């Protein structure tokens, strides 16, 4: 069976980790920074040395292409991102790009004849130092001038970064790809959690990336003297909000597992030792794998809020805010990954990703799925982020066999 060159992949990972290396062994290669630029030059050199065709699109996405014999063939994309968070780890993103590069090199050396162009891709700004999922959203046609006008990293960071890489808003939006020309997208990534490690499994087959919904819940009661108002006559907004938080937790565990919910903020008014809270504004966020499940969760959580408000002599208003659409993986690609893991004799399980990835952009335009490998202690976005060599190699071989299974 064809397998990747383990030594070459591990030495690539070590070499890339030197670019933007921090004092405590982490990596800072923020998107569009000078360290990111250095990483891009390094990657380009590896691609050229491998005899693959190097490309950069208008969004700064970098590619290494192994062409099919038929120029009219579709393109299978494999990759991830080279940028990191501030003082992040050596594996998040880098593993997916370098394993994809190693897969293309292995197939080129083997003289494999594929029915599609194989394109290794490193997407710009996955982590969101500037926009977040910038490169993959551009490719998927999900980016607009409005996104670029108000980037989360600030307009100056985007301006400077675009100047450094020779990009403009026009070139970024022109990076959009025609879905008809794509055969799919596969991304290898570290799990960034402990599910695989705890279950002693080799490979996670990602069935989708969760969607996120959020809402402000405002419980309204009546301010009163904290001493003289009898307990049974109070309309204490915090009593309602507290009951909601506890019951929402049980509701989600009992009915919506593996969905999750979080109450990340409570604003109390008037907010004093000696006044019964009249008003509580609560930030609610919840995540699940499909829009259908999110709809059911929203209905259950919001009706719980109404029920709790009534029982506590309160009223409640619910204001839904921006969220993020769930991105289910394509069953064809999920099966190809399972076939690949079986061929290699690796144990695997299906799971959902509760973190965002470039795959969520790509899943909207082409059949996509992800391969997860274990993260030691689930640590990520930290210098302590680590995956064992064995898991790195397993993941790359599963990616290789997935490409062959899809061929």
**Contact footprint for Zn ion (CB under 5 A):** 92-93
Buried b (16+ CB within 10 A) or exposed e, 125-156: bbbbbbbbbbbbbbbbbbbeeebbeebebeee
Which segments of 181-257 does DSSP mark as H helices, in order? 195-199, 237-255
| Extended strands (E) in 293-397 | 315-324, 327-328, 348-353, 368-373
C-beta closer to Zn ion: residue 132 or 141: 132
Q: How far is the CB of 358 from Zn ion (least distance, A)?
A: 8
Q: Quick one: DSSP state of residue 52? A: P
C-beta closer to Zn ion: residue 92 or 279: 92
**What is the gyration radius of the CA atoms in the chain, in angstroms?**
24
C-beta closer to Zn ion: residue 93 or 374: 93
3-state secondary structure (DSSP) of residue 187: strand
C-alpha span between 141 and 329 (Å, rounded)? 18
- State whether the Cα torsion 292-296-297-299 is positive or negative: positive
C-beta closer to Zn ion: residue 92 or 385: 92
C-alpha span between 257 and 353 (Å, rounded)? 13
Angle (CA) 305 309 314, round 5°? 145
C-beta closer to Zn ion: residue 153 or 240: 153
C-beta closer to Zn ion: residue 315 or 382: 382
Q: How far is the CB of 36 from Zn ion (least distance, A)?
A: 14
Q: How far is the CB of 273 from Zn ion (least distance, A)?
A: 45
Q: How far is the CB of 188 from Zn ion (least distance, A)?
A: 10
C-beta closer to Zn ion: residue 57 or 92: 92
Q: How far is the CB of 123 from Zn ion (least distance, A)?
A: 10
Q: How far is the CB of 83 from Zn ion (least distance, A)?
A: 9
Of 385, 368, 392, residue with least CA distance to 96: 392
Q: How far is the CB of 92 from Zn ion (least distance, A)?
A: 4
Residues in the chain: 407
């Amino acid at each position: 069976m064809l397998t990747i060159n383990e030594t070459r992949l591990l030495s690539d990972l070590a070499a890339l980790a030197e670019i933007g290396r921090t004092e405590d062994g982490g990596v800072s290669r923020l998107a569009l920074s000078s360290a990111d630029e250095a990483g891009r030059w390094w990657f380009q050199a590896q691609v050229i040395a491998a005899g693959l065709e190097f490309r950069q699109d208008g969004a700064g996405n970098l590619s290494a292409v192994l062409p099919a014999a038929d120029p009219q063939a579709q393109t299978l994309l494999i990759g991830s991102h080279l940028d990191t968070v501030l003082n992040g780890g050596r594996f998040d993103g880098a593993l997916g790009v370098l394993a994809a590069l190693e897969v293309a090199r292995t197939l080129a050396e083997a003289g494999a004849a594929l029915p599609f162009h194989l394109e290794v891709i490193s997407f710009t700004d996955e982590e969101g130092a500037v926009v977040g999922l910038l490169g993959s959203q551009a490719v998927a046609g999900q980016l607009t001038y409005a996104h670029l006008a108000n980037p989360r990293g600030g307009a100056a960071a985007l301006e400077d970064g675009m100047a450094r890489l020779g990009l403009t808003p026009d070139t970024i939006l022109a990076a959009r790809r025609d879905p008809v020309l794509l055969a799919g997208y596969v991304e290898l990534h570290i799990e960034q959690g402990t599910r695989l490690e705890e279950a002693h499994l080799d490979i996670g087959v990602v069935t989708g990336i969760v969607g996120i919904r959020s809402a402000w819940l405002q419980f309204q009661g009546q301010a009163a003297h904290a001493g003289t108002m009898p307990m049974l006559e109070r309309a204490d907004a915090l009593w309602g909000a507290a009951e909601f938080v506890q019951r929402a937790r049980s509701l989600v565990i009992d009915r919506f597992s593996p969905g999750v919910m979080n109450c990340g903020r409570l604003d109390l008014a008037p907010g004093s030792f000696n006044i019964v809270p009249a008003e509580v504004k609560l930030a609610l966020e919840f995540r699940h794998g499909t829009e259908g499940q999110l709809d059911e969760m929203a209905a259950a959580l919001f009706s719980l809020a109404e029920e709790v408000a009534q029982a506590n002599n309160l009223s409640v208003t619910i204001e839904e805010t921006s969220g993020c659409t769930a991105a289910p993986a394509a069953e064809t690609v999920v099966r190809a990954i399972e076939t690949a893991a079986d061929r290699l004799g690796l144990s695997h399980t299906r799971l959902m990703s509760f973190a965002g990835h470039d795959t969520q952009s790509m899943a909207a335009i082409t059949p996509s799925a992800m391969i997860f490998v274990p993260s030691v202690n689930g640590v990520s976005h930290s210098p302590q982020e680590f995956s064992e060599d064995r898991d790195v190699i397993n993941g790359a071989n599963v990616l290789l066999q997935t490409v062959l299974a899809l061929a």
